[in-house]
Amino acid sequence: MVVHSPEKMPLAVLARRLTLEPPSIEHLIGFIGQSEVFAIFLELVREYVPDHEREIMRGPVWERAESFRRRFEQEYFPLADFAYGDGESLEYMVHAIPVELMGWEYDQYHEYESYRPGATLLLGLVINPFDYGYEDSEAARVPILDSCTDLVGAELVARIPARGWDPEALRTACGDKAYGGVADFAEWLCAATGLWMLDCTYEMYGEEYWDRGIVDELTKQWPLVKQRLDRVFQMYDWLETSPVKNFTKVLDFLVPKLTAVGPKVP
């Protein structure tokens, strides 16, 4: 092999050598960080969907998080929506369990004007779970009841106690039968379902790191979460098909059972 001296090298080669610089510290840190992300991601694949490791890992980097999500949801529970195909999705995936927490938050409660009619009517039945410690607990419900009045009329809304009914009373009255969706909604609103996805919010709790025990518990709870949400949304749909007629049926069922005891004071 002939080794050329610098003087005899093509100018283009010499120029590339002269302009070549060592990688920056930032680039090296980023590369090492991505290597750690890939290693952790591979651990997740092998822990939760080992039968699909080859399928997931042979795809382009930007598709791996989406492939993992798809296979994971088939065996466990749905993961929160985010841009699974972008460059940061893999890092987001390994950072924490991307579970969707669907509990109600204070600001969400007061955004009733944006709700569908069925949700507004159910909201009118239930105590205010956020302001009960303050004198304006009932006052905060007045605009909600006004919205209910717009939907079904003042005469029907007048049958609802000013404070509403608490979830325990509604569950006792409704059970799991025809009006069980009313109690499901009340327990969801008041974080009383006993199910993490429905009771918790990221305002209350931080993200959870990947843990087999947590994943197994969320997996066990998911069918119950889905069942409750299905009943709630079915109740929305039913109320909206004929608001006055069907809300009358709900009140005719509830009022005789609950008027005698009144709403429970939290």
pLDDT tens string 158-182: 999 999 999 999 999 998 788 999 9
Number of domains in the chain: 2
Q: CA-to-CA distance for 137 and 228, rounded, in angstroms?
A: 27
Q: Of the ranges 62-66, 96-100, 184-188, which one carries the lowest mean pLDDT score? A: 62-66
Is residue 1's pLDDT more than 50? no
pLDDT of residue 237: 98
* pLDDT recorded at residue 24: 43
Joined together, the tokens standing for residue 145 give 């009841």
Last residue of a domain, one of 44, 75, 95: 95
pLDDT > 90: percent of the chain: 58
Are 238 and 129 found together in one domain? yes
Q: Is residue 142 domain-shared with residue 248, that is, in the same domain? A: yes
Least confident stretch, 18-22, 103-107, 205-209: 18-22
For residue 61, what are the domain limits?
25-95
**Range picked from 7-21, 49-63, 251-265 for highest mean pLDDT:** 49-63
Looking at per-residue pLDDT, the higher value among 236 and 14 belongs to 236
Give CA–CA dist 209/149, Å, rounded. 45
Q: What's phi and psi for 126, nearest 5 deg? A: -110, 145
**What gap in Å lies between CA 131 and CA 44, rounded to an integer?**
42
- Structure token digits, residue 164: 């509403």
Domain match, 177 and 89 both: no
